[in-house]
Amino acid sequence: MIIKTEQEIKIITQAGKILADIIRELKKEVKPGIKTIDLDKLAQELIFKSKTQPGFLDYKGFPAILCTSVNEVIVHGLPSDYVLKNGDILSLDLGIIHNGYYADMAITVPIGEISREAQVLIRAVKKSLNIAIKKARPGNTTGDIGNTIQRYLEKRGLNVVKDLCGHGIGKKLHEEPEILNYGKRKKGEILKQGMVLCLEPMATIGKAKIKKAGDGFGFKTIDDSLSAHFEHMIVITQNGSRVLTG
């Protein structure tokens, strides 16, 4: 685990604000008829204007700026000529580098009119992130966070994706500790002031097992059921936690 200094937290806070602004601009352009590759191009333009660098480009060979994961694709979907249509749901996941430090954030958005089932899924995963953030405080554990997410989602008939997880972040995109979206209370790493973490619950309306998507980069549900993904970057403070990508 890496405890960040006050100066490092200041830089990462700036990175988080820039990233949140970029995600908001991207969200405005999400609508039926737009290609996911066009959203990637817009992300590139917005990052250039912000004088930051893309965090995902060439990371483990990923050839794009933005992850665009549609419907059954959970994370790491590759932008393409796919045209978003009414009823789709889309996860936007983006990372940037600002003054040598990473920021990471994801949201899932509806495309036009979506099914009630999809609405429930999106609301539940977003809510699970919010309650997990409240659980992220000094003295609690990564297991407390995972248990909170799991219980909330499973009570609503959803299945937690167990093969993917949240993480620490800083000079590297993925740092220790891993933050599972399931687990037992009081287990795992103890949270301490100065830790910067990415919490990112992922859930499906079908089976929790996953497989590689056809693009070679994304992960999708094994039964092609809908999935949703939300992510915030937070810092553990003296009395709780603070969202850096809000």
Encode the chain (246 residues) as per-residue pLDDT tens digits: 799 999 999 999 999 999 999 999 999 999 999 999 999 999 999 999 999 999 999 999 999 999 999 999 999 999 999 999 999 999 999 999 999 999 999 999 999 999 999 999 999 999 999 999 999 999 999 999 999 999 999 999 999 999 999 999 999 999 999 999 999 999 999 999 999 999 999 999 999 999 999 999 999 999 999 999 999 999 999 999 999 999
Which helix (H) or strand (E) is 154 found in, with range?
Answer: helix 142-155
Provide the 10 A C-beta neighbour count for residue 139.
10
Establish how many alpha carbons lie within 13 A of residue 190's alpha carbon, considering only the half-sphere containing its beta carbon. 3
Domain covering 6-238 assigned CATH 3.90.230.10 in the classification? yes
Going from N- to C-terminal start, the domains of the chain cover 6-238
The rounded distance, in Å, linking the Cα atoms of 151 and 153 is 6
Task: Record the tokens describing residue 12, joined without a space.
Answer: 């990462």
What pairing do the DSSP bridges indicate for beta strands 73-75 and 66-70? unpaired
